[in-house]
C-alpha cells in the first residue's frame, strides 16, 4: 500500500483540515506530522497544546477510519519526509511551498520525489478560506459559518 505524509498544526480541527485528512486516507497508509508546541508557538500567538490537538485528530481519524492514526511530532517543517519513503504528500495551497522544498531537499539527498497532492481550501460562508486563526479571532466557526 502507498505511504502518505501529511503535516500541520491542526489547531482547532476544522472542515479544511478534515478535507486534507480525508484525502490522505484515500491514498494509502498515513503518517500525520503534528507540529510540536515549540514549533507552533513560533508560528502563531494562540495555539492549543500538542496533546489537545493530537486528541482532536485522533478522535476524528478513529471516527473516519475505525483505526488509531500514526502521529509523529514535528519539530521542523520536514519531519520524516527527508529520510523515509513516501509515495504522496498531501498539502493545502498554504503549505504547497513546503512540499516543493521537501522534494528539492530529497533530490539533493539522492531520494525520489514525493508526489504532491494539493487539496484546495475549504471556504467559509464569506468565500474566504476556513482557518484556525479566523476561528480563534471569532470570525467563523469550524465549519466556516460566520459568527
Mean pLDDT of 115-123: 98
Residue 9 confidence (pLDDT) above 80: yes
pLDDT, tens digit, 9 for 90 and up, residues 18-43: 999 999 999 999 999 999 999 998 87
pTM, rounded to two decimals: 0.96
Cell, residue 105: 531537499
DSSP 118: E
Handedness of CA 18, 9, 50, 68 (dihedral sign): positive
Domain range annotation of the chain: 3-136
Whether residue 66 contacts residue 59, with contact meaning beta carbons closer than 8 Å, is answered with no
Q: Across all residues in the chain, what is the average pLDDT?
A: 96
Name the E strands within 1-147: 3-8, 29-35, 70-74, 88-91, 115-118
Residue 92 confidence (pLDDT) above 80: yes
Residue corresponding to grid cell 525520489:
112
Whether domain 3-136 has CATH 3.40.50.620: the reply is yes
- Give the pLDDT band of residue 46 (cuts 50, 70, 90): confident
Residue 45 confidence (pLDDT) above 80: no
- The SS3 assignment for 123 reads strand
pLDDT at 43: 78
Amino acid at each position: 500500500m502507498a505511504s502518505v505524509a501529511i503535516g500541520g498544526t491542526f489547531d482547532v480541527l476544522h472542515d479544511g483540515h478534515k478535507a486534507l485528512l480525508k484525502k490522505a486516507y484515500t491514498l494509502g497508509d498515513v503518517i500525520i506530522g503534528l507540529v510540536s508546541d515549540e514549533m507552533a508557538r513560533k508560528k502563531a500567538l494562540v495555539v492549543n497544546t500538542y496533546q489537545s490537538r493530537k486528541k482532536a485528530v485522533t478522535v476524528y481519524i478513529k471516527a473516519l477510519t475505525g483505526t488509531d492514526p500514526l502521529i509523529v511530532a514535528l519539530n521542523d517543517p520536514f519531519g520524516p519526509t527527508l529520510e523515509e519513503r513516501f509515495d504522496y504528500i498531501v498539502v493545502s495551497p498554504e503549505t504547497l511551498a513546503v512540499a516543493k522544498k521537501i522534494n528539492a531537499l530529497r533530490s539533493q539527498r539522492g531520494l525520489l520525489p514525493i508526489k504532491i497532492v494539493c487539496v484546495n481550501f475549504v471556504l467559509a460562508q464569506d468565500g474566504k478560506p476556513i482557518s484556525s486563526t479566523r476561528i480563534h479571532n471569532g470570525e467563523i466557526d469550524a465549519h466556516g459559518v460566520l459568527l
